[in-house]
Amino acid sequence: MMMTAVQDLTIGFIGLGKMNGAILQGLLNAKIKSDKLWGVASSSEDAQKKTDEFGIRVYGPKEYAKELSKTEFIFLGVKPHKVADALAAFKQQLALEPLKKGLTLVSIAAGVQLETLQKTLEIPLPMVRVMPNLGVAVGHGVSTLTSNALVDKEHEKVLITLLKKLGCCEVLPENLFDAATGLVGSGPAYVLLIIEALIDAAVHSGIPRAMAKQMVPQLLIGTSLLLEQSGLHPAQLRDNVVTPAGTTAEGLSVLEAAGVRSAIDEAVQAAIARAKVLG
């Protein structure tokens, strides 16, 4: 079977909030044509607002059946507690029109398992769970992916190619999805806290805030690129910049004494525990 090129895909978005909006923005930046993308808002009034915001056609929650005969993937991006309502509306829409062969539901809802989605929808459908993060809006997101047994492997490959246009994408067994939620989904917030703390430390040392706001993100970007391109372990790369009895050694010893390493691990484990409760 010929693989569909990602530019030829038609993709729907149920819910156009922060995360689905970020995926949509990433696809538009990756030159996916806006006429291949459509969305569903929580009300017809909101649909008009979202059309103006994103420049794609957006429907009310029960008005999108006509798109289903040409759509390959639909991203479900509503809050976990609203998934059942969105799926009830989706089920009604599915009954109205013939579906494109292989039409796949891609849920990004944290903690909602494939089995739960299937039971709620009550119709056997190819389904994929993806845990993305907000970096997808700028082509540097992290996404993990797992599929149910009805997903054709070629179709899965097409979705992975699509998600790789937005950053990296790793296939992960579903039992590690709570871990992915705690690391990948919540990750940008941890990094932003560290960025904020470094900016405040810079200001504390006398550097103007506007300047610190430029310098600190670049510090993270440069370090990440260096790590990626060198292929080194972070500790090896760090050793290269730590002069014996130097300034960096002094700073690092304070971070270690403050337990930063274990605090980060505890934060990720707490987020994972919370994801399990919400699911």
User: In the beta sheet, which residues pair with residue 216?
Assistant: none
Size of the site for ligand NAP (CB under 6 A): 28
Answer for the pair 180, 144: CB distance below 8 angstroms, yes or no: yes
Report which residue type is found at 104. Answer: T
Three-state DSSP class for residue 34: helix
77 belongs to the binding site for ligand NAP (CB under 6 A): yes
Please state, in angstroms and as integers, the Cα–Cα distance from residue 19 to each residue in 10, 209, 265, following that order.
19, 29, 25
Of positions 6, 24, 41, 127, contacts ligand NAP by CB under 6 A: 41
Report which residue type is found at 176. Answer: L
To the nearest whole angstrom, how small is the minimum distance from the Cβ of residue 90 to ligand NAP? 8
Piece in contact with ligand NAP (CB under 6 A), picked from 103-111, 167-175, 228-236, 259-267? 103-111
**Cβ proximity to ligand NAP, 80 vs 102, nearer residue:** 80
Of positions 79, 209, 233, 276, contacts ligand NAP by CB under 6 A: 79
Residues whose CB is less than 8 angstroms from the CB of residue 126 and which lie 6 or more positions away in sequence, other chains included: 102, 103, 104, 105, 147, 148, 150, 151, 152, 155
CA atoms in the 13 A half-sphere facing the CB of 17: 13
163 belongs to the binding site for ligand NAP (CB under 6 A): no
Burial class (CB in 10 A: 0-12, 13-18, 19+), 242: middle
Answer for the pair 134, 25: CB distance below 8 angstroms, yes or no: no
Of positions 17, 102, 139, 279, contacts ligand NAP by CB under 6 A: 17
Q: Measured at CB, which residue is nearest to ligand NAP?
A: 17
279 belongs to the binding site for ligand NAP (CB under 6 A): no
82 belongs to the binding site for ligand NAP (CB under 6 A): yes
Of positions 74, 109, 121, 199, contacts ligand NAP by CB under 6 A: 109
**Cβ proximity to ligand NAP, 144 vs 202, nearer residue:** 144
102 belongs to the binding site for ligand NAP (CB under 6 A): no
Task: Using CB under 6 A, list all residues that contact ligand NAP.
Answer: 14-20, 40-42, 46, 61, 77-80, 82, 85-86, 89, 108-110, 131-134, 185
